[in-house]
Amino acid sequence: MITIVDYQMGNLRSVQKAIEKIGSSAEITDSAARISAARRLVLPGVGGFPEAMAELRRRDLIQPIRDYIASGRPFLGICLGLQLLFETGEEGGEHEGMGVLPGRCVRFRLPHEYKVPHMGWNSLQIVQREPLFVGIPDGTYFYFVHSYHVEPSDRSIIAATSDYGGPFCAAIARKNLFAVQFHPEKSQAVGQRLLANFAALPETN
């Protein structure tokens, strides 16, 4: 069973369907007790950083998510679910994130010929050959939709980069914690492979 955090931000059902397509069961919940008891946890998201943090606070889910990550069980953040892990986000002013990882989430600052949001298929440059990327070659294309990207203070956690007017962090990994800027649930066969890799991860303490 893979547990998906429900905080009313984005495409929860499409993530659930993608997980079910690889043969795993998936539940969507905003229950702190269910999150605390999860064996594998996914924090997806589409939308604004401050609104997302407000919803997580309103539902009292920040500490259960932090405790879950600290427990060593597999965790996957997707898009906004990656960005919220960091200390601050600059969308609509500076806002406090969950602070699981040091660093910030910033808006793309690009030449005028680049449209923001960055939307479409882009290739990954895999920096660390993590178990999340088993069977996924360097240069594989995934689907992105985002106006912001993260800048980790500890660059050793960057697992993959992509390029849009310059390189940016596209995935991070630290022990049991994994998070990606792209959308595996919208990335067809390669996205399914990544989700299957996540479903197969062992617990790490």
Q: What is the pLDDT of residues 58-74, one digit of tens each?
A: 999 999 999 999 999 99
| Residue 55, pLDDT score | 94
| Active-site residue (options: 105, 118, 130, 185) | 185
In this predicted structure, the answer to whether residue 205 has a pLDDT above a threshold of 60 is no
79 is catalytic: yes
The residue behind tokens 């993608």 is 18
Query: Residue ranges per domain, the chain?
Result: 2-199
| Residue 92, pLDDT score | 84
Beta strands 75-78 and 177-180 are parallel
**Position 68: which residue type?**
Y
Q: Which secondary structure element, helix H or strand E, spans residue 169, and what is its range?
A: strand 167-174
In this predicted structure, the answer to whether residue 164 has a pLDDT above a threshold of 90 is yes
Between 3.40.630.10, 3.40.50.880, 3.40.50.2300, 1.10.490.10, what CATH number should domain 2-199 receive? 3.40.50.880
- What percent of the chain is predicted at pLDDT more than 90? 90
| Torsion angle (degrees, nearest 10) of CA 49, 53, 59, 62 | 120
| Active-site residue (options: 55, 79, 94, 96) | 79
Q: Which of 61, 1, 49, 45 is nearest to 26 (CA)?
A: 1
Question: pLDDT higher for 39 or 203?
Answer: 39
185 is catalytic: yes
In this predicted structure, the answer to whether residue 7 has a pLDDT above a threshold of 70 is yes
Peptide bond into 184 cis (omega under 30): no
Q: Write the pLDDT tens digit of every residue in 31-51.
A: 999 999 999 999 998 889 999
| Residue 46, pLDDT score | 85
| Residue 9, pLDDT score | 79
| 3-state secondary structure (DSSP) of residue 115 | coil
Question: pLDDT higher for 176 or 204?
Answer: 176
End-to-end CA distance of the chain: 20
Angle between the N-to-C axes of helices 188-199 and 12-21, in degrees from 0 to 180, rounded to the nearest 10: 80
Band (pLDDT 50/70/90 cuts) for residue 112 is confident
183 is catalytic: yes
Tell me the C-alpha distance between 121 and 187, whole Å.
Answer: 8
For the chain, how many residues are written?
205
126 neighbors 177 (Cβ within 8 angstroms): no
| Active-site residue (options: 20, 94, 183, 203) | 183
